[in-house]
Chain A
Amino acid sequence: QQPVQSPQAVILREGEDAVINCSSSKALYSVHWYRQKHGEAPVFLMILLKGGEQKGHEKISASFNEKKQQSSLYLTASQLSYSGTYFCGTEFTSYGKLTFGQGTILTVHP
């Protein structure tokens, strides 16, 4: 059961904000968020465990709504370096296997 990400693509100007959503039809143990730049490997941003916690990483934060089985990634005051494809990865048990969404392409223009 692949999680569904929305939107598929976002275009921003520097300084604008964006929200990327990740939804699952199955109960989740955790949600991971990764950013991948073109031609590179995905890079881990943060992990959220069930319990509805919110985490932050500089101007990037995320929440996990256990009732809705949905996570949202918030990017505030976007910078050019935020451009890339964002993937959520969902985990149904504590055994570590991630199922990744199809990705959201984020483009930040000057």
Chain B
Amino acid sequence: NAGVTQTPKFRILKIGQSMTLQCTQDMNHNYMYWYRQDPGMGLKLIYYSVGAGITDKGEVPNGYNVSRSTTEDFPLRLELAAPSQTSVYFCANQGTGTGYTFGSGTRLTVV
């Protein structure tokens, strides 16, 4: 039982490049989230989804896009990477009345 799986674990991007951070779950939860965590800081919500086909912006959505075509997958797309997007990205899901289950994270560096 994998839970929430994120790939890749590490990535270095050049300014202006694009990439997709993958997130998949095997828990059949409707609610899924993308957060970013800058060094020594808390987590900021980028996008979230309450079910397949439904997504909405969080606190810091600029420069990112998401899609949710299935319950299992919630990829995060970075277009035109900028140094300000250097961060650790966490995907999470949530069942009814329970806490979040986080993936192991993706460490992204934009140079």
Q: Which 10 residue pairs are nearest across A and B when measured between Cβ atoms?
A: A44-B99, A41-B102, A100-B42, A100-B43, A96-B31, A102-B42, A96-B94, A32-B99, A47-B99, A41-B105
Tell me if A2 counts as interface (CB < 8 A to partner B): yes
Number of residues from B at the complex interface, CB < 8 A: 23
Chain B contacts for A45, CB-based, 8 A: 99
The total of interchain contacts (Cβ-Cβ below 8 angstroms) comes to: 53
Decide: A2 and B42 in contact? CB cutoff 8 A.
yes
Interface residues of B, dominant DSSP: strand
Question: A70 to B19, alpha carbons, bound, how many Å?
Answer: 40
A64 within 8 A of B: no
**At the interface, yes or no: A74 with Cβ under 8 Å from chain B?**
no
Chain A interface size, under 10 / 10 to 19 / 20 to 34 / 35 or more: 20 to 34
